[in-house]
């Protein structure tokens, strides 16, 4: 069983506990109330910070107040709140600090008590809250993480944490300055924490809680600290979105492939005119027109494929597809150039001796083709006109458009994970690393 009380910590041997509920502080005389009934072992006076041993009938002073500052808990001591497994009362508050490269990072912990359920913890760092239960089970430590109850946790951070402020009751003799090694492992929205001192190792399992839930549970009037950045085990809102987007993208892509296949099968792709010509620069009339030909079917495209026997030369073709009935001309020009040779880097080529151009939305009807060549040397060239030719450009553009939003979603998710891990001992540097972390970050919403 997890978190059924102080059992996870070193609990003093059972001894006759003083049957008191409140007393005057031995140092300053301020009333001190005991809320943890017989379960607490020390209490820190809110007035002067003196630590008093409540397991001793004579209420001995354990330590004096070491901190000169007073920290106001976001949830006042004595506040009761309805949490997921019962009503709990805040009986203790402490602030802990770790130092990394000379910078102190502080978080706050609230000890909760319910006489039937035992103890729970709430921790808050940068406005991110966790509901924590101590565990009697020892997780299996593996390289880079830990396994616990079938879940794989990744190592997040290890540091020596010190208590720098404490007030209220605790089930061990807590004092300012008390330190332990803390190791955090995450599997969002869960966090597994190990606290190690010379005498004991304590494991606890926490779950991310939205600040609104905390405020509502304790009916808090004051706003809770604003969230900053991404919490260590904060569930990523992007993971589930990304998963749905990917599934829908695959469906859309499958439909696009189907449309393209139907287009390939259903298009006429019909050769309606083909002719070869000779060009000579000395010709007085270079223009040529074709016989009339029929463009069948519905309004569709026409593709003109040209070839010329140019070698290290060029040929410019001015072409027009003219509707004999309406007098509408589709006029365009194309250049065929083809150069090749060999140099110190080997053989090279530039251009090619063939070309392709498309005319869109050409209605059916009787047409003829006019071509007027221009070039520096005689050439033999051919023109082939195809009707209703399937195209690939729209297909590839559709695929690119469909992947656009999932790619943006992925980068947002990556950015979220980057922020999460930037606070850890393993800040991410590579995309593959991030992809791994994004896929591991869980999908619990």
Partner 1 sequence: MHRLFSLFGLLVLGSFGYATYTGWTWASYDEIKNVPKSIRNNPGIYRSVYTRYPHK
The single residue among 89, 210, 372, 423 that binds partner 1, judged by CB under 8 A, is 372
Instruction: Report, in Å, the least distance between residue 128 CB and partner 1.
Output: 24
Instruction: Report, in Å, the least distance between residue 69 CB and partner 1.
Output: 45
Q: Which is nearer to partner 1, 33 or 300 (CB)?
A: 300
The answer to whether residue 333 forms part of the interface with partner 1 (CB under 8 A) is yes
The answer to whether residue 351 forms part of the interface with partner 1 (CB under 8 A) is yes
Q: Which is nearer to partner 1, 105 or 314 (CB)?
A: 314
CA distance 121 to 93: 10
The answer to whether residue 263 forms part of the interface with partner 1 (CB under 8 A) is yes
The answer to whether residue 288 forms part of the interface with partner 1 (CB under 8 A) is yes
Which token pair is 387? Answer: 């009707």
The answer to whether residue 190 forms part of the interface with partner 1 (CB under 8 A) is no
Q: Which is nearer to partner 1, 142 or 401 (CB)?
A: 401
Which 136-155 positions form the footprint of partner 1 (CB under 8 A)?
none
Q: Which is nearer to partner 1, 174 or 242 (CB)?
A: 242
The single residue among 37, 100, 259, 377 that binds partner 1, judged by CB under 8 A, is 259
Which is it for strands 288-289 and 31-33: parallel, antiparallel or unpaired? unpaired
DSSP character at residue 415: H
The answer to whether residue 287 forms part of the interface with partner 1 (CB under 8 A) is yes
Which residues are within 8 A (CB) of 437 and not within 5 positions of it... i.e. 6 or more apart? 154, 417, 420, 421, 428
What 3-state class would DSSP assign to 144? coil
The answer to whether residue 422 forms part of the interface with partner 1 (CB under 8 A) is no
Site string for partner 1, 383-402 (x = CB under 8 A): -----xxxx-xxx-xx--xx
The answer to whether residue 281 forms part of the interface with partner 1 (CB under 8 A) is no
Instruction: Report, in Å, the least distance between residue 252 CB and partner 1.
Output: 4
Q: Which stretch binds partner 1 (CB under 8 A): 13-21, 209-217, 321-329, 413-421?
A: 321-329
Q: Which is nearer to partner 1, 193 or 249 (CB)?
A: 249
CA distance 122 to 374: 84
Reduce the secondary structure of 8-75 to three states and give it as a string: HCCCCCCCCCCCCCEEECCCCCCEEECCCCCCCCEEECCCCCCEEECCCCCCEEEECCCCCCCCCCCC
The answer to whether residue 260 forms part of the interface with partner 1 (CB under 8 A) is yes
Q: How far is CA 89 from its chain centroid?
A: 36
Instruction: Report, in Å, the least distance between residue 401 CB and partner 1.
Output: 5
The single residue among 249, 306, 428, 441 that binds partner 1, judged by CB under 8 A, is 249
The DSSP annotation for 340-408 comes to: EEEETTEEEEEEESEEEEEEEEEPSEEEEEEEEEE-SS-EEEEEEEEES---SHHHHHHHHHHHHHHHH
Instruction: Report, in Å, the least distance between residue 442 CB and partner 1.
Output: 19
Asked if residues 51 and 62 have their Cβ atoms less than 8 Å apart, the reply is yes
Q: Which is nearer to partner 1, 60 or 299 (CB)?
A: 299
Q: Position of tokens 């790619």?
A: 407
Residue 120 burial (CB < 10 Å; 0-12/13-18/19+)? buried
Asked if residues 34 and 169 have their Cβ atoms less than 8 Å apart, the reply is yes
Q: Which stretch binds partner 1 (CB under 8 A): 85-93, 126-134, 222-230, 282-290?
A: 282-290
Asked if residues 268 and 390 have their Cβ atoms less than 8 Å apart, the reply is no
Asked if residues 233 and 416 have their Cβ atoms less than 8 Å apart, the reply is no
Q: Which is nearer to partner 1, 125 or 410 (CB)?
A: 410
Which residues are within 8 A (CB) of 153 and not within 5 positions of it... i.e. 6 or more apart? 139, 145, 146, 147, 185, 186, 187, 190, 191, 192
Q: Contact residues for partner 1 (CB under 8 A)? A: 241, 244-245, 248-249, 252, 255-256, 259-260, 262-263, 267, 285-289, 299-301, 316, 318, 320, 322, 324, 327-335, 337, 351, 357-361, 368, 370, 372, 388-391, 393-395, 397-398, 401-402, 405
């Amino acid at each position: 069983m997890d978190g059924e009380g102080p059992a996870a910590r070193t609990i003093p041997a059972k001894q006759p506990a003083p049957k008191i509920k409140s007393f005057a502080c031995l140092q300053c005389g301020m009333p001190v109330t005991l809320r943890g009934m017989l379960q607490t072992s020390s209490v820190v006076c809110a007035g002067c910070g003196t630590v008093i041993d409540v397991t001793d009938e004579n209420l001995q002073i354990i330590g004096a107040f070491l901190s000169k500052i007073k920290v106001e808990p976001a949830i006042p001591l004595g506040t009761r709140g309805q949490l997921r497994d019962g009503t709990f009362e805040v009986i203790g508050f402490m602030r802990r600090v770790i130092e990394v490269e000379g910078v102190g990072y502080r978080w706050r912990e609230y000890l909760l008590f319910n006489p039937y359920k035992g103890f729970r913890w709430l921790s808050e760092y940068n406005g991110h809250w966790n509901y924590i239960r101590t565990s009697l089970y020892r997780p299996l430590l593996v390289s880079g993480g830990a396994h616990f109850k079938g879940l794989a946790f990744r190592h997040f951070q290890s540091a020596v944490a010190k208590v720098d402020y404490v007030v209220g009751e605790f089930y061990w003799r807590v004092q300012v300055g008390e330190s332990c090694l803390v190791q955090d492992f995450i599997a969002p929205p869960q966090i597994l924490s190990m606290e190690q001192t010379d005498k004991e190792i304590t494991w606890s399992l926490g779950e991310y809680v939205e600040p609104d839930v905390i405020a509502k549970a304790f009916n808090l009037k004051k706003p809770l600290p604003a969230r900053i950045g991404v919490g260590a085990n904060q569930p990523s809102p992007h993971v589930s979105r990304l998963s749905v987007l990917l599934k829908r993208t695959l469906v859309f892509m499958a439909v696009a492939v189907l449309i393209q296949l139907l287009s390939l099968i259903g298009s006429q792709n019909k050769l309606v005119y083909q002719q070869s010509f000779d060009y000579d620069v000395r010709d007085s009339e270079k223009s040529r027109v074709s016989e009339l030909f029929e463009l069948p079917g519905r309004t569709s495209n026409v593709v003109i494929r040209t070839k010329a026997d140019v070698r290290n030369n060029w040929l410019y073709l001015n072409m027009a597809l003219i509707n004999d009935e309406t007098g509408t001309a589709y006029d365009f020009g194309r250049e065929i150039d083809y150069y090749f040779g060999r140099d110190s880097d080997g053989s090279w080529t530039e251009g090619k001796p063939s070309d392709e151009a498309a005319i869109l939305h050409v209605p059916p009807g009787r047409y003829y083709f006019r071509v007027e060549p221009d070039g520096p040397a005689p050439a033999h060239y051919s023109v082939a006109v195809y009707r209703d030719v399937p195209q690939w450009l729209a297909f590839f553009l559709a695929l690119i458009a469909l992947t656009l939003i999932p790619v943006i979603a992925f980068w947002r998710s990556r950015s979220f994970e980057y922020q999460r891990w930037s606070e850890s001992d393993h800040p991410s540097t590579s995309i593959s690393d991030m992809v791994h972390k994004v896929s591991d970050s869980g999908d619990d919403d």
